[in-house]
Amino acid sequence: MIKTDILIIGAGPTGLFTVFEAGLLKLKCHLIDALPQPGGQCSEIYPKKPIYDIPAYPEILAGDLTEKLLEQGKQFEPGFTLGERAETIEKLEDGSFIVTTNKGTKHHAPVVAIAGGLGSFEPRKPLIHNIANFEDKGVEYMIKDPEVYRNKRVVIAGGGDSALDWSIFLSDVASEVTLIHRRNEFRGALDSVEKVQELKNKGKINLITPAEVVGILGDDHVAGVVVTKADHIPTEFEIECDHFIPLFGLSPKLGPIADWGLEIEKNAIKVDNSLDYQTNIPGIFAIGDVNTYPGKLKLILCGFHEATLMCQAAYQIINPGKRYVLKYTTVSGIDGFDGTRKEAPKAVVKSID
Amino acid sequence: MSQDINITIIDREGVSHEVEAPTDMAMNLMEVVRSYELAPEGTIGVCGGMAMCASCQCYVLSEHELPEMQDEEEAMLAEAFYVKDSSRLGCQIQMTQELEGLKVELAPES
């Protein structure tokens, strides 16, 4: 069981800055993120894009901002659970929380700060009326273990890199691979497109374009798919298969957090912005792009401000009755949890003989 | 010269709205839709305008010459749903004087 003072869900800019602000108050943080590295969208989606509205940085690349935030919080020794998604939360009698990830890692903290940004990126599901009935029964939105498909008949749908790459890979594993795409053109790396063409010519991949999967056949497991092909005269036909893998990219969703009993409005978590960004559940805060309140602006700098105020409230929960006086780092310096100390050099006063 | 252009946006309920869009505020079509609240908050511009989510997909109904599609937009539309030949992502269409009279319809939410 991982224990900490503030458990932060989301390791984007707001979550990372929380580490620093909490550290000033002698509070330790641990961060959970579904992505394999810290930085959230900044490192995953647009690390090379410049950001122009970070105070004191006329221009900074999103990836560099992540690096600087990590450096700023380093002396407060945050813990990270990366590549895992916060799945469930349990409130204990003493008011503290246990958050468990999809991989079963348990975290215990008196305060939870949700800094989940747009949420977790989940597979975009095609609009097939009965697809939900076959999830994990032959329909998989992502490939975890390619061996599952050994000597099986697989239908892949999609037109991006994932669909191309997996079609190529599974052509050596599955007994039959069919790739279906709505358009004739694929939007993937050129060498992947050429490789699929080559495998199609060799008869190792069955390519059907422009076409769409519109139905799934089977009782308690996928037995086939219904396909419409958009020719001059549209045709509809069935393909027998054991697995259907739709690969239509990812879409940001609030994810399991939406089922935690929090008040949700406009796909975001409602908070009390007049005070401390606490949610309707005492001890759980929401900061950054994931929250909503009157006048909310989804800006990184607003996330920093929200994190700062949230930490003050967290301090009161963790240290009830204890007085705290706001300090300026210029005056008090910073004492890291790693034993380091940063402070302005002291002026030396010497008399002249 | 006026900095605003007149455009027509048909919302997801099929209601047509004639709105004025500023061309001097670096706004794109998705932002215009949001500013006039023509789609519920949280259902449009989810990714903030980075061509990552297709929540601002629209069908272009007029004959305007639009800026050419960049790779990100094309890739997103290749994976989105309810896509037609006239589909574009609103976040990738900047409001300019040339778009006076533009008419678009918002694609269904998906």
Using one digit for the tens of pLDDT, what is the confidence trace for B67-110? 999 888 988 888 888 999 999 999 999 999 999 999 999 999 87
Taking CB atoms and an 8 Å cut-off, how many pairs form between chains A and B? Answer: 45
- The alpha-helical segments, DSSP class H, found in A74-182 are 161-170
Check if B42 contacts A (Cβ < 8 Å). Answer: yes
Q: What is the mean pLDDT of residues B22-28?
A: 92
Check if B71 contacts A (Cβ < 8 Å). Answer: yes
**pLDDT, position A264:** 92
Chosen from B79, B83, B85, B87 to mutate, greatest number of chain A CBs within 10 A: B79
Q: CA-CA distance, A240 to A213, in Å (whole number)?
A: 12
DSSP letter at A346 equals: P
Nearest residue to A34 (alpha-carbon basis) of A95, A112, A135, A105: A105
CB-CB contact of B71 with B98 (8 Å): no
Q: What is the mean pLDDT of residues A201-227?
A: 94
**pLDDT, position A81:** 96
Q: CA-CA distance, B102 to A336, in Å (whole number)?
A: 57
- Which residues 242-261 in chain A show a CB within 8 A of chain B? 248-249, 251-252
> A29-33, A37-41, A245-249 — which one is most confidently predicted on average?
A29-33
Max CA separation in chain B (angstroms) = 41
- The alpha-helical segments, DSSP class H, found in chain A are 13-24, 41-44, 62-73, 161-170, 190-201, 300-318, 329-332
CB-CB contact of A178 with A156 (8 Å): yes
The answer to whether B78 contacts A127, with C-beta atoms less than 8 Å apart, is no
Nearest to B79 among A127, A160, A266 (CB): A160
Tell me how far apart the terminal alpha carbons of chain A are, to the nearest angstrom.
Answer: 63
Check if A184 contacts B (Cβ < 8 Å). Answer: no
Whole-prediction pTM value? 0.78
Check if A50 contacts B (Cβ < 8 Å). Answer: no
A160 vs A112 pLDDT, higher one: A112
The answer to whether B46 contacts A252, with C-beta atoms less than 8 Å apart, is yes
**pLDDT, position B1:** 52
CB-CB contact of A296 with A273 (8 Å): yes
CB atoms within 10 A of CB A27: 22
Residues of A in contact with B53 (CB under 8 A): 251-252
Check if B46 contacts A (Cβ < 8 Å). Answer: yes
CA atoms within 13 A on the CB side of A93: 0
